[in-house]
Structure 1
Amino acid sequence: MRSAAVVGTGLIGTSIALALRGRGVTTYLLDRDPEAARTAADLGAGLVGAPRTPVDLAVLAVPPQHVASALHEHQQLRLAEDYTDAASVKAKPQAEAAALGCDLSRYVGGHPMAGREQSGPLAAQGDLFQGRPWVLTPAAGVGRRAVGRATELAELCGARPVVMGHEEHDRAVALISHAPHMVASLLAARLLDGDESELQLAGQGLRDATRIAAGDAELWTDIVGSNARAVAEVLGEVALELRTVVDALRDLGSDAPERHLTSRAHLTTALVRGVQGRGRIPAKAPGGLRLSGVAAAN
């Protein structure tokens, strides 16, 4: 790949551009906010503005709800020969792009599985994707050249390409990213009711459990809302287990010792399942493996 365009110069887009520039790829930066594009350029991420002739690959680093419209717009403008995106939801943008009449033979859905709680170009890092999975969701009928360029993009950024179906991807990220973000946000929101003296006692455990809750609320509304059905399914299961834990704790705090033994068992079961589930998170997947799942995004 000799040339690329990055549409959207936030954290992910600018990080992609920095990685490409580091590998000698001529990279153009486009953003509806000119200041964001100029900031990314000042960081060394590329050249501000559209190229004179189509680039090899355009990366649509925009929120899920804008992927289809951005693809349609820039295909009409002949920005690139092939296209991919970096949104964390795949099925809905793909369907919306089809409805708009986009040329899907030149588009491969993509999702680099990396991020930070900070946002904007100043938070970007050229090595953000190093060693991380980069999901590709090529639909039936997509051209081999487009798939090859999307794969090369991931490799140029130091990531490990992972091929998945659209729905499979969305179920996976609901489990490992989107639902955890909502749980972290709900837990962090409880701190609004805490006294200052109580919050002074906060340790690293609370910071770890709520770190991702610091993400941009508008962006995450778009992400979670675009994957609503899959996220709701995971959170519904969490809610059922949480209800069991709440009931067990209320029993343990009551003056009904005949229920304490059973309630303690429920509590222990929940904690043991947590230990077991935490143990299933892979430390690192072997390079080049075509995984059926994806690692945590944050």
Structure 2
Amino acid sequence: MDIMCWLRLQQYTILKKSWKIDKTSRRPAVDLAYKIHGPSPSGSSKNIIALHGLLGSKRNWDSMCKMINSATNASVVAADIRNHGDSPHNSTHTYPELASDVSQLITKLSMNKAHIIGHSMGGRTGMVLALSEPSKVASLVVADISPVSTAGILNDFFPKLIDVMKSVNFQGSDTLGKARTAAKTTILSSGLIDSPEGAAFIIMNVGQLADKSYGWKCNLDALKQNFVTIATFPPDYNGKQYPGPTLFIGGGRSNYLPKTDEPGIKSYFPQAELQYIPHVGHNVHAEDPTAFLNILKDFFSKNL
């Protein structure tokens, strides 16, 4: 057996174990932290939930959520996915669990259903929720991620970045500013991220912890241990479909949502439309918020 075959076998074994855990011993849903933009959600109102990507948080969606609320008059709720931001930490981090967390949030906020917008990991969370509980999803918008394939950069870049983040020494950082400076210095010196803007996105995860110290608010240990499941769309949903309105928005300079995946995407989401913003990369909503918002406005004018 050559080394590549052995590596594939090891990855399959890890995935098989995680899928078994999903089916037989999934832990209860956690109560997600969230922020409401606009009117309070209810069963009679138009409700939108925005879900961030890996190493993001609800804060990353502040400006976009405000713009969506202004454009639609809908209640827009930005949530922290488990192991991120202000949401609880948990040792497991699978898409069925993440979807259950969002389902619980929909119920908690007295929504009958919600329009889901998800970026990357948040997009796959929205997909799993739509496939497993379609009655709770009024429509689905997925930003730059596919249920069919996984971009190589996801497997290569994020595990290295998590290791770099874990190496940051926060000792002596008695203010938020000092803690963020320590994180920024380590991240930029690693060479993985070569722009202050990219580092700024990551250091938004630095904050004050429960013991009043400063450090990473995301659960880096759990994210690293569960990375294989984060990087892979769960196969349990093969053959299932979500019949509602669905929009995929890809970055023209990103390889997270290949156009060749469209037939496979439509096997899950038969009403799916794919649109691309040509000049942006993976963070489509942040790199050109105006273009992203215009696409959303057109979609919601027909489906909200």
TM-score, normalised with respect to structure 1: 0.34
Say which one has the larger Rg. Answer: 1
TM-score, normalised with respect to structure 2: 0.34
Q: Whose helix fraction is larger, Structure 1's or Structure 2's?
A: 1
